[in-house]
Structure 1
Amino acid sequence: MPKMKTHRTSAKRFKITGSGKVSRRQANRHHGNERMSEKRLRRLKGDELVSKADEKRVKRMLGI
């Protein structure tokens, strides 16, 4: 059976945590930020975990 290839754009977007969960960046932080409130920008600052419903699909794209 051939090796599974990594979906390269997914590999750039997702990271695996030490406990095996998948983390992602938050959306709406790229442009148009001057019209957003500081509170909203602070809330969008950190990484977020991928939902349980999508975690299996993302791990398959990463070749895990």
Structure 2
Amino acid sequence: MPKQKTHKGMQKRFKVTASGKAKHRKAFRGHILGKKSGNRKRQLRQDGVVTGAEAIQIVNALRPSL
């Protein structure tokens, strides 16, 4: 039986929290920041959390490395 491999693309983009949720960096923070308000940029600093069915898929893809 071959070993199950971690999905390397997801490993770079997500971390799994202790409660099993998937944590990710929010989009739209990389460049063109001059036109975005300070309030918007401040909210984008926080990590986003994925819950529900998508979180289960992400955690299963990352399971071998956990």
Q: TM-score, normalised by structure 1?
A: 0.85
Write the letter of the residue equivalent to 1:42: R
Partner in structure 1 of residue 47 of structure 2? 47
Residue segments in structure 1 that go unaligned for 5+ positions in a row: none
The answer to whether the 8 A contact 2:20-2:59 is kept is: no
Which amino acid is 1:41 matched to?
K
State the one-letter code of the partner of 1:18.
A
Q: 1: distance between equivalents of 2:10 and 2:29? A: 18
Identity, % of aligned pairs? 41
CA RMSD of aligned residues (A): 1.3
Q: Deviations over 1:1-36 (max 9, x none)?
A: 221111111101100111221111111111111111
For the pair 1:22 / 2:22, whether they are aligned, the reply is: yes
CA separation in 2, counterparts of 1:61 and 1:34? Answer: 36
Cα distance in 1 between the residues matched to 2:50 and 2:19 = 13
1:6 and 2:6 are equivalent in the alignment: yes
Distance, in Å, in 2 between the alignment partners of 1:43 and 1:22 is: 18
* Number of equivalences: 64
